[in-house]
Amino acid sequence: MQVSPHHTFTGTDLQETQREELMKKALLQACAVCVGATGAYAGGLDRSGQGVNILFEEGSVVQFRLGYANPDVSGEQNGVDSGNIAKSFWTPHLAYKHSFTDRLDFALIYDEPYGADVEYPSNYPLSQNPAAAAGGRTDVLRAKADVDAITALVRYKFDGGFSAIGGIRAQRAKANVAVPVVAGYEFESGSEIDFGYVVGVAWERPDIAARVALTYNSKITHDFDSTESINSVPPIPAALVTAQTETEVVTPQSVNLDFQTGVAPKTLLFGSIRWVDWPQTVLAPPVYTAAAQQNLVDYADDTFTYTLGLGYKFTEEFSGAISAGYETSSGSAVSNLGPTDGFWSLGVGGTYSFEQAQISGGIRYTDIGDATTTTGGEFSGNSAWSVGLQLTYTLN
């Protein structure tokens, strides 16, 4: 809406401006839920994407998002089929954003940035304990990792549309892993809270809905008090040996580049690039590395994940968006605890707006890349379906 220097601003103008802002917010929410509310599968462990888009909401808002992903990941080794080893999972997200002044914003975000939950069948080669016949324990190859975080962010706006972003992240992690083929080995960590930081810059031009934001997430190092147990080499029966150890693991540094711009009336182009430095993540418990002569978990390559989408305002109340995602495959051998290598995805989302609230929903299909594991397992033809629901409510 253009306003001349001599125009008298009326109540009708105010209602039209508010309506335009509501429609713009609905379009942005539709784009966001199309990508972020549908359960990521990047890097095999990346869940939330560590986005900061809540900082760019107008005024003060609360936001709740819940995603659900149902992956199907299977392969075979030595002629034995693994079946689906990947369990379904939820990805909660809760955020609050407050504007202290026209220049200073604050946000508090809860999410689960990383996670894993895989389990192989009992007949899989790596689920076989060589000491089982001598009385050693039986289990299956499995891994579960839970990581959740609370991030406090501030954003300060400068002239010319530029702004600076900074904050602190408190992250809690714990893990449990069993590798029966290594003499019935099991790893159990305590729950550890450690800290990292976020820094970034952004540029905006609101009249064309243009924005570019670049954020850096630091690595976070967890020093676990852990319990490792293993069956001793027989004589019969095989005894269970337990050790209290200290194990360091790093969740990796990452960089997010998010962008959007209006390209036509009621139409928004948006996208992102996310880089994650996965070689920083190494899990090498001392008992396991001594027994197996290798790390329990490590990564040979970093990942780049790309997203590009288009949003459109169909009515004053409803906006929709479509998006495509792609993560590069490395071709390197991967861990049996995360047997994926890259992906491509297609998603669709929509937002309905009324008064001070926007309700969004989305669905995404992900084609998970084929992978070869370090022990020669072959995983192919895998995929995931994800859905998400998001509610954003404006407080002022």
Average pLDDT over residues 366-370: 93
Residues in the chain, total: 396
Q: Quick one: pLDDT band at residue 192, thresholds 50, 70, 90? A: very high
DSSP assignment of 149-181:
EEEEEEEEE-GGGEEEEEEEEEEEEEEEEEETT
Average pLDDT over residues 26-31: 57
pLDDT score recorded for residue 15: 46
Q: What are the tens digits of pLDDT across the range 322-360?
A: 999 999 888 889 999 889 999 999 999 898 988 889 899
Instruction: Judge contact between 287 and 182, C-beta under 8 A.
Output: no
Q: Is the pLDDT of residue 139 over 90?
A: yes
pLDDT score recorded for residue 182: 94
Instruction: Judge contact between 310 and 268, C-beta under 8 A.
Output: yes
pLDDT score recorded for residue 2: 34
Q: Is the pLDDT of residue 316 over 50?
A: yes
Higher pLDDT, 270 or 21: 270
User: Which residue's structure tokens are 């790093």?
Assistant: 250
pLDDT score recorded for residue 18: 45
Count of CB atoms within 10 A of residue 381's CB?
A: 11
Q: What is the pTM of this model?
A: 0.90
Helix, strand, coil % over all residues of the chain, rounded to 5 = 15, 55, 30
Q: Any idea what DSSP says for residue 18? A: H
**Cis? peptide before 237, omega within 30° of 0:** yes
Give CA–CA dist 353/360, Å, rounded.
9
How many Cα atoms sit within 13 Å of 68 on the Cβ side? 3
Q: Provide the mean pLDDT of the chain.
A: 88
Helix (H) or strand (E) holding 67: strand 61-72
Q: What are the tens digits of pLDDT across the range 109-128?
A: 999 999 999 999 999 999 99
Name the residue ranges covered by the structural domains of the chain: 11-394
Q: pLDDT above 70 covers what percent of the chain? A: 88
What class has domain 11-394? mainly beta
pLDDT score recorded for residue 232: 82
